Amino acid sequence: MSRIGKMPVPVPTGVQVKIDGNTVTVKGPLGELTREFRPEMQIALEDGAVRVTRPNDERMNKALHGLTRALINNMVVGVHEGYTKVLEVLGTGYRAELQGTDLVMSLGFSHSVVVTPPLGIDFEVNPRTSTITVKGCDKEVVGRVAAEIRAWRPVEPYLGKGIRYQGEVVRRKAGKSGKAQ
């Protein structure tokens, strides 16, 4: 039995879960998420918790069991608490600011980089600490948008300039002279 799959997903107060066959809709204070799952997995709401069961112990069903439970848990946590990713902008002349809801970054290119947030995603910029916060209720979308922002100027290993996740460790290389700066 899958250790992750057999755990029930607790539904906190203020969150509504609706199961219609293999489609699960979760509605909470931060938004509403809907996802369709494979028909092999049986999803049931019982005693204020969502339970996922699998029909047999085939390899594919074992894999889907834990995955389905984890995705439902991410939906419940997302509409109740939300997800955030914090990015740090490091480098001389590198900066970020908000214009309306759009994120405008100066990253050493001849032009500014404008990132328009998808539906359900919000940006916050702190110019004092040069951080960009990506917020939303869908974990997958928050991670994808943060990765797209980071991809504009990944951290380079010689000077450490670029966009990195908060807490990300970048291995530094010695320059031409062979000594650390």
User: pLDDT tens digits for 5-46?
Assistant: 888 999 999 999 999 988 999 999 999 999 999 998 999 998
Q: Distance (Å, rounded) from C-alpha 107 to C-alpha 29?
A: 36
Q: What's the whole-number mean pLDDT along residues 96-115?
A: 93
| DSSP conformational letter for 109 | S
Q: Distance (Å, rounded) from C-alpha 92 to C-alpha 105?
A: 13
Question: Does 173 score more than 90 pLDDT?
Answer: no
Q: Which residues contact 90 (CB under 8 A, 6 or more apart)?
A: 130, 155, 160, 161, 162, 163, 164
What pLDDT score was predicted for residue 89?
A: 94
Provide the whole-model pTM.
Answer: 0.87
What pLDDT score was predicted for residue 5?
A: 83
What tokens were used for 158?
């010689």
What tokens were used for 123?
């940006």
Q: What's the whole-number mean pLDDT along residues 146-161?
A: 93
What pLDDT score was predicted for residue 174?
A: 84
Whole-number mean pLDDT of the chain? 91
Question: Does 180 score more than 80 pLDDT?
Answer: no
Which is nearest to 79 in space by CA: 35, 18, 28, 135? 28
Burial group, residue 162, by CB count within 10 angstroms (0-12, 13-18, 19+): buried
Query: Which residue pairs, CB below 8 angstroms and at least 24 apart, start in 59-68?
Result: 62/2, 64/38, 64/40, 65/2, 65/4, 65/5, 65/41, 66/2, 66/3, 66/4, 66/5, 68/5, 68/37, 68/38, 68/41, 68/43
Return the H-helix or E-strand segment holding 142.
helix 139-151
Question: Does 76 score more than 80 pLDDT?
Answer: yes
Q: Distance (Å, rounded) from C-alpha 156 to C-alpha 90?
A: 11
